[in-house]
């Protein structure tokens, strides 16, 4: 399996992966909107035997009162149903987090499964005094500091790109 940055030739396959992995096309449409509207998007694919079977995207987020922090939001992450359970999602997360570090981001936020993301070091945002702009359970809103103590003293509300409101 090869994990690499997404290229324009991958767009239709990435749309298909996200459509297959989720109940609706909302996440696939989110990917398209973020590509067009968000700055500094990191989008990666998992390729197996020349076919795109997984995708992950990171886009910038902001925290109220802390505009100088370089932060990313992880979403969406998708693996085609017949390729799930083979570690592809985990490999995408690891590769994506490394790319975020390489690009100088200090922390990554996610709204996700409590049985999946903590294995990468994600912790509930409530520990940092950070809230989500959406009304979600505390345990599903998590953060991973890519730089030690990056969020020290930072509290407030995380704002995602406006395209997330359609999901």
- Give tens-digit pLDDT for 83-135: 999 999 999 999 999 999 999 999 999 999 999 999 999 999 999 999 999 99
Task: Report yes or no: 40 and 81 within 8 Å, Cβ to Cβ.
Answer: no
> Per-residue pLDDT averaged across 29-35, rounded?
95
pLDDT of 165 reads 87
pLDDT band, very low/low/confident/very high, at 167 (cuts 50, 70, 90): confident
Q: Report the 10 Å Cβ neighbour count for 121.
A: 13
DSSP annotation of 85:
T
Task: Report yes or no: 45 and 1 within 8 Å, Cβ to Cβ.
Answer: no
pLDDT of 65 reads 86
pLDDT of 40 reads 79
Q: What percent of the chain has pLDDT over 90?
A: 93
Q: What percent of the chain has pLDDT over 70?
A: 100
Spatial CB neighbours of 98, under 8 Å, sequence gap ≥ 6: none
pLDDT of 31 reads 96
Superfamily, domain 2-166: Gcn5-related N-acetyltransferase (GNAT) (3.40.630.30)
* Token representation of residue 45: 């694919």
Rounded distance between C-alpha atoms, residue 74 and residue 156, angstroms: 19
- Residue 95: strand, helix, or coil: helix
Rounded distance between C-alpha atoms, residue 91 and residue 4, angstroms: 11
Task: Report yes or no: 105 and 146 within 8 Å, Cβ to Cβ.
Answer: yes
């Amino acid at each position: 399996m090869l994990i690499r940055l997404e290229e324009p030739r991958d767009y239709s396959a990435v749309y298909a992966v996200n459509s297959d992995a989720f109940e609706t096309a909302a996440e696939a449409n989110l990917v398209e909107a973020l590509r067009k509207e968000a700055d500094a998007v990191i989008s990666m694919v998992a390729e197996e035997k020349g076919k795109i079977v997984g995708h992950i995207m990171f886009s910038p987020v902001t925290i109220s009162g802390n505009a100088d922090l370089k932060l990313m939001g992880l979403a969406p992450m998708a693996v085609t149903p017949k390729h799930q359970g083979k570690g592809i999602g985990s490999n995408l997360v690891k590769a994506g987090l490394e790319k975020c570090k390489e690009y100088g981001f200090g922390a990554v936020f996610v709204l996700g499964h409590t049985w999946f993301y903590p294995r990468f070091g994600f912790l509930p945002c409530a520990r940092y005094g950070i809230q989500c702009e959406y009304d979600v359970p505390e345990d599903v809103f998590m953060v991973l500091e890519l730089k030690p103590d990056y969020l020290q003293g930072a509290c407030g509300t995380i704002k995602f790109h406006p395209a997330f409101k359609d999901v």
